[in-house]
């Protein structure tokens, strides 16, 4: 029975009235930009009680689960040119084709975050939900800025966390630890780690500089045209890292015929560059030079 204050409308009338409230603030991505989706994991549920906080997120088993998650996301239904992993975060650089048509932000964010949660839970056996943030980057120069930023964040987070754990084991309280870590430079962090008995040279590369996943052309006769490469030894040299990221920006993406197909991940520290028309040195980065690359066909 209808309330006198409220009249029931038809489906079409409700559609016109309500649909706008879902869509009016759910904007489209700008065309001719490069999108990076960054997701970071948040643990929940009793299964995590078996994983000591001391081990999270730098335990080898967690890194392996993140690599598997990233690999699945790179073959789901979005063309991904490059993926960077550090801590419990994954950054996915989407192919330019992904902004060739209209794409809504909310759909992409929910799509990547929910798929990532499923893939990680399957790989690790304990549940997480991922929060997603999106960067719409207007130039290749901004992409270089982004991945250099994340590289430095990876090192800072590992060094700060490790120093905190070592100082805690030595009896320091939270106030002392916060004062010690606040404002530490990269050089200062390395010196302090050495004093605490952990030379920076003894730390695994993937803990300091993260892990990269990207596509390389497969040998003739392979079942698929591209191999999915996992590089756990990303360059610590700025020029070499700049070359790698520049090539990944201009590099290929690939989607298998069956979305979400688990493609074997090849471990390799050897990077075969896809030569851009112009390479950018770290010196040029600081000088603010423009970046121009040859962006070839992305269709796999």
Q: How open is the CA angle 300-268-245, to the nearest 5 degrees?
A: 65
Which neighbouring-strand residues pair with 136?
A: 35
pLDDT score for 165: 94
Give the whole-angstrom CA distance, residue 193 versus residue 242. 27
**Fold of the 34-139 domain:** Alpha-Beta Plaits (3.30.70)
Helices 105-124 & 60-73 angle (0-180, nearest 10)? 140
pLDDT classification of 277: cutoffs 50, 70, 90: very low
DSSP reduced 3-state for 93: strand
Residue 269: its pLDDT value, please? Answer: 67
Q: Report whether pLDDT(278) > 80.
A: no
Q: Where are the domains of the chain?
A: 34-139, 146-206, 211-287
Residues 128, 18: Cα–Cα separation, whole Å: 32
Unique residue bearing structure tokens 């056996």: 125
Q: In the numeric block, which tokens belong to residue 291?
A: 């970046």
Read off the pLDDT band of 271 (50, 70, 90): low
282: its two tokens: 């770290």
pLDDT > 70 fraction of the chain, expressed in percent and rounded: 87
d(CA 230, CA 183): 33
Average pLDDT in the 42-50 region?
93
Q: Is the pLDDT of residue 279 over 70?
A: no
Q: Is the pLDDT of residue 298 over 60?
A: no
pLDDT value for 214: 97
Rounded mean pLDDT, 97-102: 76
Q: What is the pLDDT of residue 190?
A: 96
Mean pLDDT, the chain, whole residue set: 87
Buried-exposed string 24-51: b where 16+ CB fall within 10 A, e elsewhere: eeeeebeeebbbbbbbbbebeeeeeeeb
Query: How far apart (Å, rounded) are the C-alpha atoms in residues 159 and 190?
Result: 8
Nearest to 119 by CA among 57, 47, 67: 67
Task: Please give the pLDDT value at position 3.
Answer: 60
Q: Are 85 and 63 in contact (CB under 8 A)?
A: yes
How many CA atoms lie less than 13 Å away from 128 in the CB half-sphere? 27
Under the banding of pLDDT at 50, 70 and 90, the label for residue 258 is: confident
The continuous run of DSSP H or E covering 133 comes out as: strand 128-137
Alpha carbon 211 to chain centroid distance?
9
Nearest in space to 74 (alpha carbons), one of 247, 261, 251: 261
**CB environment 220-254: b (16+ within 10 A), e (fewer):** eeeebebbbbbbbbbbeeeeebbbbbbbbbbbbbb
């Amino acid at each position: 029975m209808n309330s006198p204050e409220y009249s029931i409308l038809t489906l079409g009338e409700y559609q016109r009235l309500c649909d706008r409230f879902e869509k009016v603030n759910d904007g489209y991505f700008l065309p001719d930009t490069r999108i990076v989706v960054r997701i970071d994991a948040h643990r929940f549920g009793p299964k995590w009680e078996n994983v000591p906080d001391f081990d999270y997120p730098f335990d080898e088993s967690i890194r392996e689960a993140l690599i598997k998650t990233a690999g699945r996301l790179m073959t789901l239904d979005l063309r991904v040119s490059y993926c960077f992993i550090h801590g419990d975060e994954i950054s996915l650089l989407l192919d330019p084709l992904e902004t060739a048509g209209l794409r809504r932000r909310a759909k992409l964010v929910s799509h990547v975050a929910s798929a990532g949660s499923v893939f990680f839970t399957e790989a690790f056996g304990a549940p997480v939900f991922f929060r997603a943030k999106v960067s719409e980057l207007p130039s290749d120069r901004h992409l270089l800025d982004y991945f250099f930023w994340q590289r430095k964040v990876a090192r800072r987070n590992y060094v700060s966390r490790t120093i905190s754990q070592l100082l805690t084991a030595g009896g320091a309280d939270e106030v002392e630890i916060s004062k010690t870590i606040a404002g530490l430079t990269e050089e200062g962090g390395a010196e302090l780690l050495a004093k605490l008995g952990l030379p920076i040279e003894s730390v695994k590369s993937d803990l300091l500089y993260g892990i990269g996943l990207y596509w390389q052309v497969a040998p003739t006769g392979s079942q698929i045209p591209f191999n999915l490469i996992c590089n756990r030894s990303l360059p610590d040299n700025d020029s070499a890292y700049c070359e790698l990221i520049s090539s990944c920006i201009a590099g290929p993406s690939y989607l298998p015929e069956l979305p979400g197909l688990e493609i074997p991940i090849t471990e390799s520290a050897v990077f075969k560059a896809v030569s851009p028309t112009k390479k950018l040195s770290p010196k040029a980065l600081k000088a603010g030079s423009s970046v121009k690359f040859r962006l070839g066909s992305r269709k796999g």
